[in-house]
Every structure is written in structure tokens, then in C-alpha cells.
Amino acid sequence: MIGLLRKDLYMAWAYCKTFILILAVFIAVGLSGEENSFFILYPMIIGMMLPVSLISYDERFKWHLACDAMPVSRAKVVSSKYILTLLTVLLVFVFTMLAQWFRLARTGSVERLWELPGLLLPMGLVGPAILMPVIFRLGVEKGRLFYFVLVGAVCAAAVIFSSGQNPVNPAARIALPGWITILVSLAIFLLSWPLSIALYKKREL
């Protein structure tokens, strides 16, 4: 498992530097700019797609075929991607929260910071939870249409929830309290994990 995670980190550094640069730029702009929910939400949208991009590189380089011939279970292959997704979402969440804390501290509105977790974490968890079972069953190429539909849906949801008179408070538009949405999203993510394992075991490579 550690070896698979290290491989993914090496690949992320080698082939996904653009993702990292975009994340850094948007988080920095969110730190220095005015209240603009786009710069708050977009880093999470980019971050949650990083593991999917690594799966795409795995297929392009035929890694999934080589890995299947090694003494590595498919369950570990899937689990490594889910763990990487969790790490990515948490890192993006922490840096986004820090940037917004510095920004809101200048205006004396730090208490509004706690309105964000109820949107950021569900956004980072639910997207991959829906997408990865499809990818592990059909492959990245066949699941590409679903990939773009999901990205469009996430972006549309971000715009809907963040539109209005209070752009830094998109979570206030969600009927459920923030902590409930986080727990529900985490449950969906954890249920998606064994589903992806089961589907990938049935896939013909």
C-alpha cells in the first residue's frame, strides 16, 4: 500500500505540476482578493480530480496491466486511490481554510470561516465517491463522458450555492447543518470505497 501511494505521489509530481500550480494560484488569489466564492471553491474542484487524472495516466502507461500481474490485490490498488483522494481533499481544505482565515482576519469576520467546511468537504468527497466506481468499472476512456458531466454538475452546484448577496456564505443555502452534510458526504465516500473494489474485481483488463 505504501509503495502504491509513493508511486502516485511521484506521478503527481512528474505529470501533474499544472494541477499543483493552479491550486496554489487560486488559493493565493482567494487570500488576497475580495469576497469571491469562485476562488474559494475552485481549488477543491481541481483537487478532487487529481486522483482521477492519475488513474488516467495509469491506463495510458498500462500500469494497471503490470500491477495486475504483480502480487498486489485489486483492493489495494483501489484503496490507494481512495486514500490519495482523502489526503488531497484534506490538504486543499486546510490550505483554503488558512487562506480564508488570513483574509477574514483583516476584516474582523473570522467567525464566518466556519461556514465553509459544510460546503468544501462535501464537494471534495461526493464527487470522487460518485465518479470512481464508474472509472474503476469502465475505465477512464469509457467513463470520460460521465467525468465531464460530473465536473459540470459540480461547477453548476458551486455557482448555485454561492450566488446571492453573501458569496462567502454558500453553505448557508444548504438546508442541512454543515456538520450533517459533512457526515453524510463521508458516509457516501466510505460506501463508494468497497463498491469500487467490487466493481474493479469484476473488470476485464
* Nine cell digits for residue 98: 488558512
Give yes or no for residue 191 having a pLDDT over 90.
yes
pLDDT computed for residue 197 by the predictor? 93
Residue type, 7: K
Please give the pLDDT value at position 184: 87
Kindly state the average pLDDT of the residues 30-57: 77
pLDDT band at 73 (very low <50, low <70, confident <90, very high): confident
The pTM of this model reads: 0.79
- Please tell me which of 35-44, 60-69, 78-87, 158-167 the model is most confident about, judged by mean pLDDT: 78-87
Residues 6+ apart with CB under 8 A from 102: 31
Distance of alpha carbon 35 from alpha carbon 104, whole angstroms: 9
Would you say 127 and 154 are in contact if contact means Cβ atoms under 8 Å apart?
yes
Q: How confident is the model at residue 52 (pLDDT cuts 50, 70, 90)?
A: confident
Measure the CA–CA gap between 118 and 44, rounded to whole angstroms. Answer: 13
The SS3 call for residue 169 is coil
Which cell numbers in the block locate residue 173?
443555502
Tally of residues, the chain: 205
| Rounded Cα–Cα distance for residues 65 and 70 (Å) | 9
Integer Cα distance of 138 and 199 in angstroms: 9
Question: What is the mean pLDDT of the segment spanning 1-21?
Answer: 83
pLDDT mean across residues, the chain: 78
Give the pLDDT score at 42.
81
Query: 124, 93 in Cβ contact below 8 A?
Result: yes
Looking at residue 170, the DSSP 8-state letter turns out to be G
